[in-house]
Amino acid sequence: MYKTNLTHSELIEIGYKWCLTKCAFAFKDLATINSETPDVIGFNSNGTFLLEAKTSRADFLADKKKRFRKRPEEGMGDWRFFICEAKLININELPEMWGLIEINQNKKALTVFNPFGNGNIYYKWEKNKKNHLSEKGMMYSALRRLQIKGLIEEIYKK
C-alpha cells in the first residue's frame, strides 16, 4: 500500500473538485448554525452529495459516534461518501448507504464504492433520508453572508 500522506485540507480540496464534477456548486467546511459541518457538500438539481474526509482509522471510527451518524435521517446529503487514501477504509465497514472515494498515488479521486446508482442520471439514484432543514439552513447562511457583504446582486448578472 502506498501512502500519499494527504492532510485533511488536501482531501477536502480534492473532494471539492470531485463534487464539482457532479454538482453546480459546493461548499467546503462551511460552518453554520447546524450541528453538522460537512467537509464538502455539493448541490445539483436532483440532490446533494456529502463528502467526509478521513486521514486516519481513528478519525473514521470516531465519526460513528456523531449524533447524525447514529441517526442518519438527521444528517445531510442525499448521497454520502467518505474520501480517504486507498485502503484506509474497507467497503464492508461503511455505514449503510455510504459510498467510498479513494485517492490514488496521482492524487486523483476514484469512486470505489457507490451504493446509490450508476451513471450520472442522479434523479434515478436511491437517496438517504436526510435533514432537509439543515441543508436549507446552510444555503440560507451562505446567501445571507453574500447579502451582508453586498455581493448578492452578483447573482442577477448574466
**Measured distance CA(37)–CA(7) in Å, rounded:** 18
Asked if residues 80 and 50 have their Cβ atoms less than 8 Å apart, the reply is yes
Q: Which pTM value belongs to this model?
A: 0.93
Confidence of residue 67 (pLDDT cuts 50, 70, 90): very high
Cell reading at 113: 464504492
- What is the number of residues in the chain? 158
Expressed in angstroms, the distance from the first to the final Cα of the chain is: 48
Q: Per-residue pLDDT tens for 98-142?
A: 999 999 999 999 999 999 999 889 999 999 999 999 999 999 999
Confidence of residue 28 (pLDDT cuts 50, 70, 90): very high
**Measured distance CA(127)–CA(139) in Å, rounded:** 20
